[in-house]
């Protein structure tokens, strides 16, 4: 896959589907993943390796990883809650695994039933296991700083707590950390403060990715600010599906289609064909007819003359 200015990671098949009651058929998930890949999306989080009894929507994640490996050039990402989940993801063939460590310990106990110390132990075991594998089988390992901007249970999260957990994750052996606005609390000013603080704590090169929600309508504004502060990878969900089932009211990932359009209009290359991307909504809507899909671009359509000549220029 060619290098682009900004990398989009589609998280709908994981974050989007874990938040709804309906179980999307495996074949529909495969069609979704293939269509997004063909639209140029370079990375897709296909699911999470959690017990099916907890999230039956994710029961077929291993099968999805196996299928996605037939799509040459696609980076296959998966979320893992613990060492066992990481083993299963690696055995399945995921290229990238992310473990969520909630900065809010209350949320951590609700989400993965573990304290901060217990999660760091899991991360350390996973990192050691990865290092024991042949280089070609070692996935990229990200430590996700969940609820970094605030928690629906605990409320505001201190910046010092975020940087402390970030440092512990790097010491435990992750390749990099990512900031996650699990609950939709992030605002532009707060985002700048947190990005600068975490980069100062762990190094510029160890924070490149951001997971945002649009719960309160400032998702894309946060993206612009993040771009100005060196973030180059963004998670997004087709149709804005998503949210954490263990964080009440935290609905609404940023919409992949709207994000790509905004980046395109700013002259930033993503490698994604917007028309093909918008067409993927038909696959998802057909499989989930009762779910509402969000997004301004899909409803308004592309501007006349897109992609060239539609922006207003001074004479």
pLDDT of residue 183: 86
**pTM score, two decimals?**
0.94
Is residue 244 a contact partner of residue 209, using CB atoms and an 8 Å limit?
no
What's the pLDDT tens digit per position in 235-290?
A: 999 999 976 554 444 457 999 999 999 999 999 999 999 999 999 999 999 999 99
Closest CA to 237 of 258, 209, 206: 258
Q: Facing residues of 97 across strands?
A: 78, 141
What's the pLDDT tens digit per position in 177-214?
A: 999 998 889 999 999 999 999 999 999 999 999 999 99
CA distance 220 to 251: 15
Q: Which residues are catalytic?
A: 244
Residue 310: pLDDT over 70: no
Structural domain boundaries of the chain?
A: 7-300
What percent of the chain has pLDDT above 90? 81
CA distance 267 to 5: 9
Homologous superfamily assigned to 7-300: Aldolase class I (3.20.20.70)
Query: How buried is 134 (Cβ within 10 angstroms: 0-12 exposed, 13-18 middle, 19+ buried)?
Result: exposed
Closest CA to 167 of 96, 116, 110, 226: 116
pLDDT of residue 79: 97
pLDDT of residue 315: 36
């Amino acid at each position: 896959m060619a290098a682009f200015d900004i990398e989009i990671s589609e998280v709908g098949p994981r974050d989007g589907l874990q938040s709804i009651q309906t179980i999307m058929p495996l074949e529909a998930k495969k069609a979704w993943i293939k269509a997004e890949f063909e639209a140029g999306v370079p990375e897709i989080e296909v699911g999470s390796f959690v017990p099916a009894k907890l999230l039956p929507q994710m029961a077929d994640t291993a099968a999805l990883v196996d299928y996605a490996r037939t799509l040459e050039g696609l980076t296959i990402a998966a979320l893992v809650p613990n060492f066992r989940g990481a083993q299963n993801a690696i055995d399945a063939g995921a290229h990238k695994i992310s473990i969520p460590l909630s900065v809010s310990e209350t949320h951590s106990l609700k989400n993965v039933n573990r304290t901060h110390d217990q999660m760091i132990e899991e991360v350390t075991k996973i990192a050691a296991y990865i290092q024991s594998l042949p280089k070609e089988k070692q996935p990229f390992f990200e430590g996700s700083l969940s609820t970094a901007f605030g928690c629906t249970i605990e409320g505001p999260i201190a910046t010092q707590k975020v940087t402390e957990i970030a440092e512990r994750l790097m010491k435990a052996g992750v390749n990099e950390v990512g900031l996650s606005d699990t609950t939709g609390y992030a605002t532009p000013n707060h985002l700048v403060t947190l990005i600068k603080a975490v980069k100062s704590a762990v190094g510029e090169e160890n924070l490149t990715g951001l997971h945002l929600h649009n719960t309160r309508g400032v998702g894309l504004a946060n993206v612009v600010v993040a771009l100005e502060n060196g973030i180059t990878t963004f998670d997004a969900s087709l149709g804005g599906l998503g949210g954490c089932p263990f964080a009440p009211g935290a609905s609404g990932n940023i919409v992949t289609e709207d994000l790509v359009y905004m980046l395109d209009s700013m002259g930033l290359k993503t490698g994604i064909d917007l028309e093909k991307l918008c067409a993927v909504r038909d696959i998802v809507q057909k499989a989930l007819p009762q779910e509402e899909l969000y997004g301004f671009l899909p409803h308004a359509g592309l501007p006349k003359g897109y992609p060239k000549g539609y922006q207003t220029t001074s004479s």
